[in-house]
Structure 1
Amino acid sequence: MYRQFLSFLLLLGLFNGCATPEPKEKPLGQLVDESLEFATQHSLLMAESLKDQPDRLPQTIDKEGKLVTCNSAWWVSGFFPGVLWYLYENTPTDTLKDWATNYTMRVEDQKYTTDNHDVGFMIFCSFGNAYRLTGDTLYRDVIRTASNSLITRFNPTIGCIRSWDYAPWSAKWQYPVIIDNMMNLEMLEWASKAFDDTIYSHVAETHANTTLKNHFRDDFSSYHVVSYDTISGQPEKKNTAQGYSDDSAWARGQGWGLYGYTMMYRETGNEAYLKQAENIADFILNNPNLPEDKIPYWDFDAPDIPNAKRDASAGAIICSALIELSQYVSAEKSKAYLSVAEMQLRSLSSPAYQANLGENGNFILEHSVGHMPNGTEVDVPLTYADYYYVEALLRMKKLLNK
């Protein structure tokens, strides 16, 4: 009888063992290393694909899945060079350095850009990382010229750098300033320290202060566009261009604000910027429309949630910002921010968002949204999604290796 009972227990154990076990979660450090290696493979294929087109840079893909490129004047031109520099930082090979140098120099002519605010994106993501990693003064000189170009767009009456000049689609605004513009202030803060000239930091901090005052609602969500009256210097309109509505929370815009004020706290030590970053983070992380995998819908107020398109670019920007912000806040908040950032990295590094090698135009991530109201770059890879994803991976790796 005992033997029969023992056999029954063994058989029960055997059948229980046949149940599908829960998949074991990969250690975060391993996931980060593997994702950076995978990103390197994608990016080397991308670099090779454009080696015979020396004036082109990656932008997205078309409806047939073919690579769409841009010239240096398009606002995203600096992101792929930046990706290459980040990957070189992670794995310092001559091949990566040569490609990073090649693609960086494709953007050099934008140091003279004075007709839009994106010179910070174009030059600092490329030349800023190049100088940080090599110390070559050629890169430093380009950043200085670009910083001088950017501050020509500052209006002291308004206290902001103008985002867009007059165009048919922007005619309704006297002096439009978009939340994205916060990202271009990093180059100015860097220039102020590098060249010992407070003109750059004055412009950056005045812009950040004016934006803090006028761009945010009571719940710390952000408008996309605030236009100013050029005589009084006061806001005249608060609208959107790329969000669902004037009063909605466009996801990437919330990411730009979070990243921008986190960066401004790092550069200045101004507690008001840190508090603003925390408030924006709390709005995002406590939003009932933030999906379980923590990759936001393209707009937090999109009418077709939960069927709305996701925006991996917004997820990557928010993830990178949260990793940095976690280093400036209380232990409790730090843990909460890093927990979400880890979930975002795991999501972005999964087959749900990470493309197969040799597909997706050689971009790393799928499922970003550029301009939904205009119907352009919807549910496609975007070069800046890759940039902030790789940056987030590197930031997490540095934390894990502390």
Structure 2
Amino acid sequence: MKTLFKVSLFLIIIILKQGCKEIHSDLESYEAIIQKSAEKYSDMNKIIYPKINNKNFIPRTINKTGDVRLVNIYDWTSGFYAGSLWYLNFLTEDKKWEKLALEYTKKLDSIQYWEGNHDVGFIMECSYGNALKKTTSKAFESVIVQTAKSLATRFHPKAGIIQSWNSNEKWNCPVIIDNMMNLELLFHATKISSDSTYYNIAVSHANKTIENHFRSDNSSYHVLNYDVNTGEILNRNTHQGLTDDSAWARGQAWGLYGFTVCYRETKDSKYLNQAIKIADYIKTHPNLPEDNIPYWDYNAPASNETPRDASAAAITASALYQLSTFTKSKEDGKKYKKFSDEIMQSLCSPTYFADKGTNADFLLKHSVGSIPHGVEIDVPLNYADYYFLEALYRLKNFK
């Protein structure tokens, strides 16, 4: 397997050299990228680890002065740093990352009882879920099942969906495309407990998302507002995209990833078909830049001034590596693998992969949180790093 990985890396490096005129010598292979990632996160940890017992101790992005901005365990991004540490352990086999990943994972323990937000799937599957790839801990399995119980309290049987945010003046029952990412935890909980409740909730939510969230061109709305008693769609809106009718880039990536997971866990072809439709929408979009790193919204103006979103690209790349192994046609598999390779080539280039000692030692530059809210524009984000490292891990283990 290592030989195959090195051959694959060699071929990709050749393509990368042909397509990019400027390459840093220490970024000429993915193995060098993995080492560079470990070095950068080692440097970041030296700064943030002394604050591990503070209320805010998890790196999310940078602040206005360019320093690391830390958040607490109830931030929706709180599981990504622990997850990145797990992937560094998987990629390098260095036990120091396992020790550190365990420490940051256990800090999230109380989230398993939190019923106030759908993001518990992000938080706990990225941390405890990855931990269970390394250990058979019954205690960690219990955390996954309890988290699923908490998430299940947000399920509305009559509408068939999991509510995302709490009700407010604008929305009765908002459901965002991001919610597809939390279904993995429900599938995991059923595997552990043999209780099909969680599986059935995940399938119901996925089915309603296919039915209601997508347009005829296979792009998705960001926010749907449901009547929980009838299942009627009251509004279709955006929260972080350009307009209600636009295709917010990270939202398209969430959908691709989520339906790929649904197929992996159910083997139901309708989920594979939906993932393929989204992948093709992204791959063939006329507004996709040549380097395959999307603008923050696919309907945003195509210009040098329009922010890119490396986080959307990293999520897409990770999903595509897995999707490429599920396609019924070998040619389709090769097509999506090649597309993912091309995205990763760009993300590993100096344009997006930050030099050591810069970017507050986050890996990727040029991500976007929410332009409509004026926050986290053209900055590093911990989930961009997480899915980038996951994509590297999937490439390393590609079959």
1:121-136 aligned at under 5 Å gives the runs 121-136=122-137
**Residue 101 of structure 2 corresponds to which residue in structure 1?**
100
Partner of 1:149, secondary structure, is: helix
> Displacement of 1:24 after TM fit?
10
Partner of 1:241, secondary structure, is: coil
CA–CA separation in structure 1 for the residues paired with 2:193 and 2:389: 29
> Displacement of 1:94 after TM fit?
2.4
> Displacement of 1:113 after TM fit?
1.1
**Residue 394 of structure 2 corresponds to which residue in structure 1?**
395
For residues 72-104 of structure 1, the C-alpha deviation after alignment (integer angstroms, 9 at most, x for no partner) is 000000001000001111222221111111111
**Residue 310 of structure 2 corresponds to which residue in structure 1?**
312
CA–CA separation in structure 2 for the residues paired with 1:155 and 1:394: 36
1:274-353 aligned at under 5 Å gives the runs 274-303=272-301, 305-329=303-327, 330-353=329-352
> Displacement of 1:198 after TM fit?
0.2
**Residue 32 of structure 2 corresponds to which residue in structure 1?**
34
User: What TM-score does the superposition give when structure 1 sets the normalisation length?
Assistant: 0.90
Moved more, 377-386 or 86-95: 86-95
**Residue 376 of structure 1 corresponds to which residue in structure 2?**
375
**Residue 175 of structure 2 corresponds to which residue in structure 1?**
177
Residue identity matched to 1:386:
D
For residues 359-387 of structure 1, the C-alpha deviation after alignment (integer angstroms, 9 at most, x for no partner) is 21121101000001000000000000000
Residue identity matched to 1:87:
L
> Displacement of 1:51 after TM fit?
1.5
> Displacement of 1:303 after TM fit?
3.2
> Displacement of 1:25 after TM fit?
9.0
CA–CA separation in structure 1 for the residues paired with 2:35 and 2:23: 19
> Displacement of 1:230 after TM fit?
2.6
CA–CA separation in structure 1 for the residues paired with 2:321 and 2:352: 20
For residues 23-64 of structure 1, the C-alpha deviation after alignment (integer angstroms, 9 at most, x for no partner) is 6999xx972211111111122222222212124101100122
Partner of 1:289, secondary structure, is: coil
For residues 201-226 of structure 1, the C-alpha deviation after alignment (integer angstroms, 9 at most, x for no partner) is 01000000001100000010000001
**Residue 65 of structure 1 corresponds to which residue in structure 2?**
66
CA–CA separation in structure 2 for the residues paired with 1:186 and 1:210: 16
Identify which of 228, 231, 244 aligns with 2:229: 231
Query: Is the 8 Å Cα contact of residues 34 and 92 (structure 2) preserved in structure 1?
Result: no
> Displacement of 1:22 after TM fit?
8.9
CA–CA separation in structure 2 for the residues paired with 1:380 and 1:225: 24
Residue identity matched to 1:379:
D
> Displacement of 1:395 after TM fit?
0.6
1:131-280 aligned at under 5 Å gives the runs 131-167=132-168, 171-280=169-278
Distance 1:225 1:24, change over 3 A: closer
Partner of 2:272, secondary structure, is: helix
Query: Is the 8 Å Cα contact of residues 23 and 350 (structure 2) preserved in structure 1?
Result: no
> What are the ranges of 5 or more consecutive residues in structure 1 without an aligned counterpart?
1-20
Query: Is the 8 Å Cα contact of residues 295 and 302 (structure 2) preserved in structure 1?
Result: no
CA–CA separation in structure 1 for the residues paired with 2:244 and 2:301: 14
Query: Is the 8 Å Cα contact of residues 131 and 137 (structure 1) preserved in structure 2?
Result: no
Query: Is the 8 Å Cα contact of residues 287 and 302 (structure 2) preserved in structure 1?
Result: no
Residue identity matched to 1:213:
E
Residue identity matched to 1:357:
K
Partner of 1:192, secondary structure, is: helix
Taking every aligned residue pair, what percent have the same amino acid on both sides? 46
Query: Is the 8 Å Cα contact of residues 32 and 397 (structure 1) preserved in structure 2?
Result: no
Paired residues in the alignment total 375
**Residue 112 of structure 1 corresponds to which residue in structure 2?**
113
Query: Is the 8 Å Cα contact of residues 369 and 377 (structure 1) preserved in structure 2?
Result: yes
Query: Is the 8 Å Cα contact of residues 47 and 99 (structure 1) preserved in structure 2?
Result: no
CA–CA separation in structure 1 for the residues paired with 2:216 and 2:20: 43
Distance 1:23 1:175, change over 3 A: closer
Residue identity matched to 1:261:
F
**Residue 3 of structure 1 corresponds to which residue in structure 2?**
none
Query: Is the 8 Å Cα contact of residues 311 and 368 (structure 2) preserved in structure 1?
Result: yes
For residues 249-304 of structure 1, the C-alpha deviation after alignment (integer angstroms, 9 at most, x for no partner) is 00000000000001100000000000000000111101000110001000000135
CA–CA separation in structure 2 for the residues paired with 1:50 and 1:197: 39
> Displacement of 1:339 after TM fit?
1.4
User: What TM-score does the superposition give when structure 2 sets the normalisation length?
Assistant: 0.91
Partner of 2:51, secondary structure, is: coil
Query: Is the 8 Å Cα contact of residues 163 and 176 (structure 1) preserved in structure 2?
Result: yes
Partner of 1:52, secondary structure, is: helix
